[in-house]
Structure 1
């Protein structure tokens, strides 16, 4: 979840900071989080892992059956298991670090409570684990929610529950049977020496009942404290109580007991990479989305329904800035650098990993990264080369090269694709497939305390002399040395990449989905690609598919083909569905997207995502962006200031159109197409918000109805058709903007050690920003720069003039004077100065979210129908 800029708070601080400004206390550079002493250190000789206890039910049986069903190899199957289960130690992050360091509360019971299992998908978009059950249901081993502390019962819980409040739990990952060694790995010495870090540090835990969300027994759990707070094991009602019940402080009436760390929960909750990517199989969707079976589950296509932002803010009141700034992404959309907020409003849709082995790679990219070597030789500098203690020739060397390859196993044979992928929306994780996968684990909280939490921006730190004022780059080499979870994942990255290239990522065509649906009703029924084309021609017009192929070749293939004309011949007359005959499963040869960086001004879609900055030199993820990518020229004509265009920003990669029939709505923010929603039975968990606005940027009174989640074949196809209509008819899209859907209440005051009355600070008691403010504007306000400039405008304007900001000084001085004279008009004064703030202290000022990609709007209606029909066949 992206950390809010706390814009209103910041401006308030700026005002009284003019006369109160002193060095704020920075976050201690040491580890100051709860229980930091528990962080394990590198051991010269890792101990032999203990064997996990055997439970009543085989946890891995459904996974092995899925591997057999898909025909996965040993390595692919191990990669799948890791993708679905491994948290890499982030259960500490989601229990302690996120709450204490980032200040955002997660109400895991609200999300995962067993008595609302049937409503879970409709509320949060997360997918129920078919192996788990609601206590008390027929055949469920748990007869009462008291046994499971209100959660589902899942395989392995008969062991795990014994260790709640006790030490010595042996994680199920310790029992992982690794795949055979890769003889080409320099660390395996020709496949003869297994030097992989213990699998225990993959940290599997057991399922919570929601796929990708895992639980671990909390050894610090105190049953007596728990019962005193909640009244019993199954209830977490005590955590819903407001803090003012015990403190008497007025502002605490909006903060729940989740903020009180004195009572430990029974479980630590972690997330795997699959928490966002596990989804319903488009070829075999569940009859009831709340009760899927394992054969309905895929691990790579991406969950189009997940409400991850609302989930991670589930313990925050709607009136909190943290909630309003985060929890506004559409279903299926999240921020890939969520925790490491860069003050750019840039959530993006979850990548659908389809036909990964066919994805374009880019040769000759200059990449600076750590690479595996067998020895360091005479090099003694750990910043350049490091060998793991207690291992034989297990070393890494840091270097800049342009000859990297992407190793992919196809049909048992390794193929080294020359170059690296561009995977994130702007191509930011462009240093190699292995590194891109490892980066996902940082995104979900792994190794936070050991590696990177003290490198991202503390939004409340306004003193530029203190740690946390701005981002700094964390060191991957240091992370490898100090975080055992990093090494456990790194030693198995090829297994994960093999899974990405496995049959589970193969195309899922509409004709195959319809064939399965018909066979479910009549085993003798059939449905071929020819049948699909015939039906599409009947629906969209005679010869629509054939005409659509021509329209695609003439208008779309330049961007949406991975095989340029120089390599594959003219687009005209080309069969874009032709198989790759060299591929063991004959998947489609064309990835239907070239992944090339395109200036956002050419595409015209919501440009804020293209200004993402975490990959820049000196920023958190510096080591995950290539030198080539950072060296791209600035994109001309973007309205933002020149200093926001550096480092190769302002581009979006072209996307793949493989299986676009099931990935609607469209664009990187899912804004083109109908708004989708879950309509849960529990209305407190209904997160749908109005988006359609008039030219005055106020929400329309009459809003188009949202489309309820429907993962069925027919449901996906219907949503595709409606989204294609909007894509090709921009004038019919309406205007979508995101505004805050609650008043924002910000309490400013000093809480004395004695007494229960907060004293207003600098004339401010509570700041109220009425509902309807721009979520993106508040999110992208560069409040730290504003604070510093306000201070200098009053104290040392010459420094601003020397920095080229002479023209800003009069307005800054006037702004400060106005607020100091009349604090009660704080919000009104900000509104009056909005244009000034947007021009000088805003990272991205685009408001309308469904603009752009007007390619095709000038086609005839016949051709628009034709291209819609043709793309449905790919």
Structure 2
């Protein structure tokens, strides 16, 4: 997680210890149990176990959705995997995350059934329509004791029997795979099914929240659980802070969530859908807390999710982990939060709309593993590997520039010449299939086998030791050692087929309004012409036509996927024209060229463009194309002297398809009103005030946030307000994220005198006052700072030789100050802020809603016209 300041303080203590004052005790625990063995056998073979039949078919609503959307077999299987497959990350989210990374998830707080009605408003997650609250009419579970306080969901009649017992067969074992792809080298012309066992997809059953899945814990001890919690229906003792028992202040950050001494009844995993499943703009629910299956889609992206708050739900607000991670806006999460790169760079959940029309890029040099049917004479497994027990099922690592992207369009395979640029900084750029695979790493799959030990240990400040920096994990080794990797990899094409299915088709405003009207009067018609007439009544006569011209003149160079040299002049373009070659005639223009633009040109919050996890030698190096990594860093970013790596400082131009439904704007949802849930349980109210004055201080009077409103007209209202802020930068106000609670951080040694903790040598707890800059605390390169402080005191000549001669006097003064009075640590940070910002901060940007001033100089009528036109796309 974003624990950089906590680590910085720990590091300072290490520095002090090196000079002879204090020793730091690292408090951590590791769960020693190995991951379960892979399920035996291949799909369709007698070796694969079959799951027990449940009373209620949990797959039924998924297949009904496939029929409703007209999905074919492959698309439907891909959808099921996207919604359900955790690929074994239940271990990560139950043990590894807490004990290796040190951040606590309180799953009961998030998923407790007695707060099901408040769950969406608190956490922004989608309630599963098939699940029910124990005790409700027609719910198979009559009391919460039967479900350990969770919802009852289809399949639980089987799953609950295995809580505390071995022998559970995962429902994924019963997956009926899509037909073989004859072009896959491993299928030998579609004749041989060599896909890894579907059991290792690991579906489990729903927790009551879509995309969050549960598995029975065979190590659960019912008697111990009841003694700890008082009943089976609550986790009150398991998630309670230890301070409730001891009265010791620092114990508020300690609970059974952390140590593994008591096993919970469930292991909790997450599927990709946990962030991407959301309400259908064409058919939103009447009550967002109680959606129906027809109100949900799997690719739109959840613009309400508070995944960041969910992942620190077991931490008190006074902890640095909570403050540093739980500051992202709804619908925004930091994809490098767990694989910490010490850059404050959260981004929105990608809306996967009209995926088949997304631009691809030819000729990029890419080093990756590619499928083959032989390794020939190559014996080095780090370069080529054939899976044992299979018939010429091999992968070869090579560097090429001729990669393509196969897409299934309604049963017709189309091969696109090139690869996509997926994430906002083009980090995932080795191919769409690989990008899907990497998502599973990001949500915890294969952590122990593959990548957790390649993290940078935020407490390790010795450059000579392992964990000082990130290292790149070996994708080939991961494939060999992690069965879940192979289970997903063998089905990546089916997931990509789902991405290109009808479920990703555009959701136009006129169609959404038509559905509303037909619900009240089936005979009423409403088409694009009616939408245009309504928009022009609101924004002015001829507004849509004029807006199209404004768009062509000012926006299309970045927000059209069809350049003028192939599609003709923008001024003559129908940007809503269909692709006549597409089976469903979806819009031809993706309305974004996915080109990398210097962030200095766009001017938006640049921290996201400084991502580093895909740089050479870092964790996800294997998922960025060589071409993008080797491009020069943007020349005029302020951090150029601090960040040495190339390829940074760019953002891709996003698509504007259905922008009416996805406001607020920008990669951090910062341009437009702040949105919030206003839950009934005030302990789960995570809203932050963001507006500051010219000095960066919070305004006494803050604009009220808008409550989540996924209705058609609610989305349109938010779109209009966001467009106003976008086109009128001077009226946006200034947004900056500050801590909203005092941070209490234990460091050094605090001996216990009765129930009172007394710091040794005056250095026991650091208090960082509320109102501190989140970006500064996240971005401080404490490891390099501590290493330089040590050298400044012990070997300044070495520091001078590294080109930091001018820094030595200030570093020596900081070290002396810490040595004389360690308790002044927080004050020292504030006093030396300018020095640290100039030399040890990964991103110096503080204002989150700056930039994208294109359109600022338009006339008021043209701004209205542009707003009207974009609402038609």
- Same fold? TM cut 0.5: yes
Map 1:808-823; keep pairs closer than 5 Å. Answer: 808-823=807-822
Shift of 1:380: 0.4
Residue matched to 2:6: 6
- Contact 1:456 1:620 (C-alpha < 8 Å) held by counterparts: yes
Residue matched to 2:33: 36
Shift of 1:410: 1.1
Q: SS of the counterpart of 1:454?
A: helix
Residue matched to 1:730: 729
Residue matched to 2:663: 664
Shift of 1:712: 0.2
Residue matched to 2:81: 82
Map 1:190-339; keep pairs closer than 5 Å. Answer: 190-244=189-243, 249-339=248-338
Residue matched to 2:570: 571
How far apart are the structure 1 equivalents of 2:458 and 2:865? Answer: 50
How far apart are the structure 2 equivalents of 1:340 and 1:97? Answer: 13
Residue matched to 1:674: 673
Residue matched to 1:531: 530
Shift of 1:551: 0.4
Q: SS of the counterpart of 1:827?
A: helix
Map 1:716-727; keep pairs closer than 5 Å. Answer: 716-727=715-726
Residue matched to 2:119: 120
How far apart are the structure 2 equivalents of 1:129 and 1:38? Answer: 29
- Contact 2:433 2:492 (C-alpha < 8 Å) held by counterparts: yes
Shift of 1:20: 3.7
1:173 lines up with 2:186 in the alignment? no
What do the CA deviations read for 1:448-492 (whole angstroms, capped 9, x no partner)?
000000001111111222221110000000000000000000000
- Contact 1:221 1:264 (C-alpha < 8 Å) held by counterparts: yes
Q: SS of the counterpart of 1:572?
A: helix
- Contact 1:214 1:270 (C-alpha < 8 Å) held by counterparts: yes
Map 1:436-451; keep pairs closer than 5 Å. Answer: 436-451=435-450
- Contact 2:425 2:609 (C-alpha < 8 Å) held by counterparts: yes
Deviates more, 1:690-699 or 1:241-250: 241-250
How far apart are the structure 2 equivalents of 1:781 and 1:560? Answer: 35
Map 1:415-454; keep pairs closer than 5 Å. Answer: 415-454=414-453
- Contact 1:42 1:482 (C-alpha < 8 Å) held by counterparts: no
- Contact 1:5 1:343 (C-alpha < 8 Å) held by counterparts: no
Map 1:698-713; keep pairs closer than 5 Å. Answer: 698-713=697-712
Deviates more, 1:174-183 or 1:249-258: 249-258
1:638 lines up with 2:637 in the alignment? yes
Shift of 1:826: 2.5
- Contact 1:106 1:312 (C-alpha < 8 Å) held by counterparts: yes
What do the CA deviations read for 1:828-853 (whole angstroms, capped 9, x no partner)?
22211000000111000111100000
How far apart are the structure 2 equivalents of 1:91 and 1:609? Answer: 29
What do the CA deviations read for 1:630-680 (whole angstroms, capped 9, x no partner)?
011121111113351523010000000000000100000000000000000
TM-score normalised over the length of structure 2: 0.97
Residue matched to 1:801: 800
- Contact 2:92 2:445 (C-alpha < 8 Å) held by counterparts: yes
Q: SS of the counterpart of 2:803?
A: coil
**Quick one: structure 1 residues 8 and 452, their matched pair in 2 at CA, closer, same or farther if it must change by over 3 Å?**
closer
How far apart are the structure 2 equivalents of 1:619 and 1:869? Answer: 45
- Contact 1:749 1:759 (C-alpha < 8 Å) held by counterparts: no
Map 1:8-27; keep pairs closer than 5 Å. Answer: 9-10=9-10, 12-13=12-13, 15-20=15-20
- Contact 1:319 1:742 (C-alpha < 8 Å) held by counterparts: yes
Residue matched to 1:838: 837
How far apart are the structure 2 equivalents of 1:229 and 1:783? Answer: 40
Residue matched to 2:615: 616
**Quick one: structure 1 residues 64 and 628, their matched pair in 2 at CA, closer, same or farther if it must change by over 3 Å?**
same
What do the CA deviations read for 1:31-65 (whole angstroms, capped 9, x no partner)?
x9414333537989998221100011011000000
Q: SS of the counterpart of 2:638?
A: coil
Residue matched to 1:68: 67
Residue matched to 2:714: 715
**Quick one: structure 1 residues 763 and 11, their matched pair in 2 at CA, closer, same or farther if it must change by over 3 Å?**
farther
- Contact 1:44 1:389 (C-alpha < 8 Å) held by counterparts: no
Shift of 1:761: 5.0
What do the CA deviations read for 1:270-310 (whole angstroms, capped 9, x no partner)?
00000000000000000000000000000001000000000
Residue matched to 1:787: 786
- Contact 1:10 1:784 (C-alpha < 8 Å) held by counterparts: no
Residue matched to 1:519: 518
How far apart are the structure 2 equivalents of 1:245 and 1:26? Answer: 23
Structure 1: any 5+ residue segments left out of the alignment? Answer: none
- Contact 1:27 1:468 (C-alpha < 8 Å) held by counterparts: no
Q: SS of the counterpart of 2:203?
A: coil
How far apart are the structure 1 equivalents of 2:482 and 2:409? Answer: 32
What do the CA deviations read for 1:698-753 (whole angstroms, capped 9, x no partner)?
10010000000000000000000000000000000000000000000011233679
Shift of 1:246: 5.3
Shift of 1:245: 5.1
**Quick one: structure 1 residues 23 and 612, their matched pair in 2 at CA, closer, same or farther if it must change by over 3 Å?**
farther
Q: SS of the counterpart of 2:680?
A: coil
Q: SS of the counterpart of 1:191?
A: coil
What do the CA deviations read for 1:175-223 (whole angstroms, capped 9, x no partner)?
0000000000000000000000000000000000000000000000000
What do the CA deviations read for 1:122-165 (whole angstroms, capped 9, x no partner)?
00000000000000001101011010000000000000000000
Q: SS of the counterpart of 2:570?
A: coil
What do the CA deviations read for 1:205-257 (whole angstroms, capped 9, x no partner)?
00000000000000000001100110010011112432245566542134333
How far apart are the structure 1 equivalents of 2:376 and 2:747? Answer: 58
Deviates more, 1:753-762 or 1:698-707: 753-762
- Contact 1:43 1:389 (C-alpha < 8 Å) held by counterparts: no
Q: SS of the counterpart of 1:768?
A: strand
Matched pairs, number: 871
How far apart are the structure 1 equivalents of 2:171 and 2:548? Answer: 51
**Quick one: structure 1 residues 819 and 643, their matched pair in 2 at CA, closer, same or farther if it must change by over 3 Å?**
closer
Map 1:128-139; keep pairs closer than 5 Å. Answer: 128-139=127-138
**Quick one: structure 1 residues 16 and 759, their matched pair in 2 at CA, closer, same or farther if it must change by over 3 Å?**
farther
**Quick one: structure 1 residues 53 and 394, their matched pair in 2 at CA, closer, same or farther if it must change by over 3 Å?**
same
Residue matched to 1:776: 775
- Contact 2:13 2:23 (C-alpha < 8 Å) held by counterparts: no
TM-score normalised over the length of structure 1: 0.97
What do the CA deviations read for 1:3-31 (whole angstroms, capped 9, x no partner)?
44425514632651451499999999xxx
**Quick one: structure 1 residues 5 and 403, their matched pair in 2 at CA, closer, same or farther if it must change by over 3 Å?**
farther
- Contact 1:4 1:326 (C-alpha < 8 Å) held by counterparts: no
Q: SS of the counterpart of 1:396?
A: strand
**Quick one: structure 1 residues 722 and 298, their matched pair in 2 at CA, closer, same or farther if it must change by over 3 Å?**
same
Deviates more, 1:453-462 or 1:576-585: 453-462
How far apart are the structure 1 equivalents of 2:563 and 2:453? Answer: 45
**Quick one: structure 1 residues 27 and 563, their matched pair in 2 at CA, closer, same or farther if it must change by over 3 Å?**
farther
**Quick one: structure 1 residues 572 and 21, their matched pair in 2 at CA, closer, same or farther if it must change by over 3 Å?**
farther
How far apart are the structure 2 equivalents of 1:850 and 1:645? Answer: 26
Residue matched to 2:858: 859
Residue matched to 2:495: 496
- Contact 2:212 2:269 (C-alpha < 8 Å) held by counterparts: yes
Residue matched to 1:387: 386
What do the CA deviations read for 1:72-101 (whole angstroms, capped 9, x no partner)?
010000000000000000000000000100
How far apart are the structure 1 equivalents of 2:283 and 2:388? Answer: 48
Residue matched to 1:487: 486
Structure 2: any 5+ residue segments left out of the alignment? Answer: none
How far apart are the structure 1 equivalents of 2:761 and 2:456? Answer: 26
Q: SS of the counterpart of 2:37?
A: coil
